[in-house]
């Protein structure tokens, strides 16, 4: 019996082993971000030289960037829908929208970092709060950047003559898992850093 692309990668769990690998990777990232968030919480309220969280954080600006990232998750859902329902035009439009929204979020983060550095002289080595804040949000921004590159590679590949092949839905859905993870992590970071007072 010939194997098809849909059956050759399945495991005894009934989940494609490539998707299972993505879930394992995301579980590992949960532990990574959990340690960063825990470190931030340890240092957030401690007396230290330099500005504290309550002095520098701009909730309205970060709320806008959070809204942008949440809208990118909606765009990703629509891209996955287009991929699964053989609507390549819809898939490409919403992949592009997700990429642009991700870049907008990164623009907000760059603005915030520059503002903190120039207005409050808060740097990575200023105090423990600065180190924990920049490392945690910086690593999240790096993950968003990787996600943008991942989605852009899918978008460019979809422009080829054969597109993403028979497994278009699978490829876009797997990328969607990563993107939604990045969004969920940001919701936790936003809540812990910006909404919970020191």
Q: Is 148 exposed, middle or buried (0-12, 13-18, 19+ CB in 10 A)?
A: buried
Residue 81: inside a domain: yes
The reported pLDDT for the residue numbered 172 is: 94
Question: What's the domain count of the chain?
Answer: 1
pLDDT score at 198: 55
CA atoms lying within 13 Å on the CB side of residue 87 = 12
Considering the domain boundaries, does residue 133 fall inside one?
Answer: yes
The answer to whether position 143 is within a domain reads yes
- Kindly tell me the burial class for residue 194, based on how many C-beta atoms sit within 10 Å of its own C-beta (0-12, 13-18, 19 or more): middle
Structure token digits, residue 142: 């790096």
pLDDT of residue 4: 43
Is 120 contained in some domain? Answer: yes
SS3 123: coil
> Which pair of structure tokens corresponds to residue 94?
């919403």
The CATH number assigned to the domain holding 102 equals 1.20.120.80
Residue 164 belongs to what domain range? 17-43+60-195
Written as tens digits, the pLDDT of the chain (198 aa) is 344 444 455 566 677 888 889 999 999 999 999 999 998 888 776 655 566 566 678 889 999 999 999 999 999 999 999 999 989 999 999 999 999 999 999 999 999 999 888 888 888 887 788 888 899 999 999 999 999 999 999 999 988 877 777 888 899 999 999 999 999 999 999 999 888 865
**How far is C-alpha 83 from the chain's CA centre?**
20
C-alpha–C-alpha distance, residues 4 and 11, integer Å:
14
Flag whether the pTM goes above 0.75.
yes
């Amino acid at each position: 019996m010939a194997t098809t692309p849909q059956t050759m990668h399945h495991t005894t769990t009934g989940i494609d082993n490539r998707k299972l690998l993505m879930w394992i990777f995301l579980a590992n990232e949960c532990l990574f971000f959990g340690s960063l968030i825990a470190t931030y919480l340890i240092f957030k309220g401690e007396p230290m030289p330099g500005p504290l969280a309550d002095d520098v954080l701009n909730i309205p600006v970060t709320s806008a960037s959070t809204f942008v990232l949440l809208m990118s998750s909606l765009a990703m859902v629509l891209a996955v829908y287009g991929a699964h329902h053989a609507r390549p035009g819809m898939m490409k439009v919403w992949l592009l929208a997700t990429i642009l929204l991700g870049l907008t979020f990164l623009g907000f983060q760059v603005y915030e970092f520059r503002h903190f550095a120039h207005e409050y002289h808060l740097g990575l080595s200023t105090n423990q709060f600065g180190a924990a804040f920049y490392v945690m949000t910086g690593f999240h921004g790096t993950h968003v950047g990787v996600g943008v590159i991942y989605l852009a590679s899918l978008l460019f590949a979809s422009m080829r003559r054969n597109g993403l092949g028979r497994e278009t839905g699978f490829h876009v859905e797997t990328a969607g898992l990563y993107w939604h993870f990045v969004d969920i992590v940001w919701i936790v970071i936003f809540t812990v850093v910006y909404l919970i007072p020191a």
